[in-house]
Amino acid sequence: MSPAHEDLLSVILGIGGVLVLASAIGWALGRRYSPDGQNAAIENLNDRIRAWWLMVLALALAFLGGRPGVIVLFAICAFAALREFMTLTNASRADHRTLAAAFFIVLPVQFWLVWIGWYGMYAIFIPVWVFLLLPIVSVLAGETRNYLIRIAEMQWALMICVFCVSHVPALLDLSIPGYAGRNVLLIAWLVIVVQLSDVLQYVWGKLLGRRKLAPRLSPSKTVEGLVGGALSASAIGTALWWMTPFQPLQAAAMALMVTCLGFAGGLVMSAIKRDRGVKDWGHSIAGHGGFIDRLDSVVFAAPVFFHVTRYFWNLG
Amino acid sequence: MRGKVRRGLARIAGRVITFFARAVTAVQPVWAGIDPDQDRQRVYYANHASHGDFILIWAVLPPRLQRRTRPVAGADYWQKGPLRRFVGSEVFDALLIARQAGAGSGAAVGRGAAHAGATAAPPSAILSAIPSDVVDAMPPDPPSTMPPPMPSDAPSMTPPELPAELPGAMRTDGPSETAIASAPDRPPATASVASSDASSAIAPDGQSAMPPAVPPDGPPAMPAEGPVGQMAAALGAGASLIIFPEGTRNQTDARLLPFKSGLYHLARRCPQIDLVPVWIENLNRVLPKGAVVPVPLMCKVSFGAPLHLAEAEDKAAFLGRARDALLALAPQPEGRA
């Protein structure tokens, strides 16, 4: 077993330990305050913890599966996210071909490009090629009603759900001196920091939250939650610097960057939900909502994290 | 032996189809008005915009209910070719009903076609044209409303179009024999169907599509009977049904087409049976007309509270109420731009 594998296993075991602790706390809270399931907040908390077990299991399997595992897992996430996003767009009957192409051509091609590691193409495939070709497919249907809105929404959906999500597995491509074979750990670090930031914002917000940050966008977000969550997640990211190619101080800066981006991503995606009059993007993940509800922060953090790392640490 | 293999295959095919439907639509059931754990016999009536409609309803029902819930579908579509025959009658256990206007059963079917707007809407895969005049039901337990299923020597009421090897007829639970036999209760029903249809505001009866002169009081029992009898028998045998009272797939911008009268006749014949409105959301976007490749979008299937015919409620009032109950399950339109 390589050192990278050993580190990965200890990370997974560590997360498992955290989940055991969380489940114990959730169970105790449930017994104390919601013995008959009448406390919605605690029931939701326990739903979330149970869903986390599944998500961590999926991630752990993907990480242990290496490159194929990670790419397939995030391709599935992209598919589910795109399905949720397109559902809320104005895409009409006239866009049927465009939608089919988005799901069955653009998405697989993007992840295939990541698979073969063709950076020069996967970095521009959706922003350039699809950007220009997609409106052509739609215009051929001859429906002009809401045309700009329709194509803009579909392009946004593809950027968020496919392009951005694909930048998580793209981290496997970076060749960082002295870090060979450990790129999966970089992905694990990014996901851990960003998701922990979400969780800790929720926890700090529930414990100390007073001042609402953006009541119109997301009633549950508070200043206390944001500060507490971002700082504590960054502290954990710093403590996990050994997973990354970064020095501890660099890891702290990176962690702060991705937590802030993740927070902003959550706000942006909330604004879209409010605009469309829905509470959650979907219902696939019990307690959390849809895939996008869970991915929103990663989506915003991943491409920037990828490019900053690539710019400062990548060899090639 | 072969039968066993086929049944096994049918079950697997059913799993595959529902898995595929879930993968594409992540369909979410919303039990707004019924308890899915309650094992009751029901007629699910739904909005109809796509060929996949009944599959989605079927996919969200708990397995126990699924096994005995039969979509009512057009024989002309589902008997074309061995694959469709297999899927239609063995996988979904569809209640296949002939609907080509023909010498015999033309009255029922033809009237349906006339209602559809006399434009002879192309037959949908699901039995859409039929329910208007066809729906007829017989709950098994409340004996009061239903005439006892059949003197067995009833004259053959099988509509001429129904091929002798109508798959239903081969089934061991044999609903179709019942269908045939239950015909004797027909004449009165038919009369009422005919007369109420004559007064229907939706479409004047006796359009070119049908043999015009069906006297209200003396229709040849056979015509209207075939399909009605089949459905009644299926209910009598304990099945639940899925029907689409709009009569055709809705390709318009309207959220719901006017209902055909079949639902009313059904409610009148069996006041005890639960008529459950089911709103299928978004499937028309997944698989619009003419599309072959379904696009993955999230779908919802909402089940409302069961309906029954009220005392002294007339056709228009009842159909209006049923339609409103279905529309009440639809999401408010302001969601999207």
pLDDT 10s digits, A74-97: 999 999 999 999 999 999 889 999
**pLDDT value for B1:** 67
Name the residue among B203, B242, B257 with its Cα closest to residue B49. B257
**pLDDT value for A87:** 95
Interchain CB contact of B22 with A (< 8 Å): no
pLDDT 10s digits, B24-81: 999 999 999 899 888 888 999 999 988 889 899 999 999 888 888 999 888 888 888 8
Interchain CB contact of B296 with A (< 8 Å): yes
Nearest chain A CA: its distance from B53 CA (Å): 17
Q: Which residue of A has its CA nearest to B288?
A: A93
Contact B282, B299 (CB under 8 A): yes
ipTM of the complex: 0.89
**pLDDT value for B226:** 60
CA distance A87 to A81: 10
Contact B157, B150 (CB under 8 A): no
Q: Tell me: pLDDT of B317 over 60.
A: yes
Confidence grade of residue B253 (pLDDT, cut at 50, 70, 90): confident
Contact A162, A79 (CB under 8 A): no
Exposed/middle/buried for residue B13 (C-beta within 10 Å: 0-12, 13-18, 19+): middle
Nearest chain B CA: its distance from A14 CA (Å): 32
The pLDDT mean for chain B works out to 68
Rounded to whole angstroms, the maximal C-alpha distance in chain A is 61
Q: Tell me: pLDDT of A148 over 70.
A: yes
**pLDDT value for A214:** 86
**pLDDT value for B207:** 35
**pLDDT value for A285:** 87
The pLDDT mean for chain A works out to 93
- According to DSSP, the residues that pair with B243 across neighbouring strands are B45
**pLDDT value for A316:** 60
Q: Compute the average pLDDT of residues A1-18.
A: 90
Q: Tell me: pLDDT of B117 over 70.
A: no
Q: pLDDT > 70: what percent of chain A?
A: 99
Contact A86, A101 (CB under 8 A): no
Tell me the CA distances in angstroms from B270 to A269, B65, B138, B142, one per residue in order. 50, 20, 6, 9
Q: Tell me: pLDDT of B336 over 90.
A: no
Q: Compute the average pLDDT of residues A103-126.
A: 97
- Mean pLDDT is lowest, of A12-16, A102-106, A134-138, B191-195, for B191-195
Interchain CB contact of B310 with A (< 8 Å): no
Q: Which residue has the higher pLDDT, B206 or A212?
A: A212
Of B289, B295, B298, the CB nearest to A100: B295
Of A87, A100, A277, the CB nearest to B298: A87
B:24-83 residues touching chain A, CB 8 A cutoff: 26, 28
Q: pLDDT > 70: what percent of chain B?
A: 60
Name the residue among A195, A167, A119, A161 with its Cα closest to residue A302. A167
Q: Tell me: pLDDT of B220 over 50.
A: no
Of B282, B288, B291, the CB nearest to A87: B282
Nearest chain B CA: its distance from A277 CA (Å): 5
Contact B123, B77 (CB under 8 A): yes
Contact A289, A155 (CB under 8 A): no
Q: Tell me: pLDDT of B144 over 90.
A: no
Confidence grade of residue A33 (pLDDT, cut at 50, 70, 90): confident
Nearest chain B CA: its distance from A86 CA (Å): 7
Name the residue among A208, A205, A202 with its Cα closest to residue A297. A202
Which positions ≥6 away from A104 have C-beta within 8 Å? B293
pLDDT 10s digits, A220-264: 889 999 999 999 999 999 999 999 999 999 999 999 999 999 999
**pLDDT value for B200:** 31
**Paired tokens of B170:** 């081969």
Q: Tell me: pLDDT of B150 over 50.
A: no
* Residues in chain B closer than 8 A to A282 (CB atoms): 26, 298
Q: Does A103 sit within 8 Å of B295, measured CB to CB?
A: yes
Q: Tell me: pLDDT of B124 over 60.
A: no
**pLDDT value for A134:** 95
CA distance B214 to A241: 86
Confidence grade of residue B304 (pLDDT, cut at 50, 70, 90): very high
**pLDDT value for B105:** 34
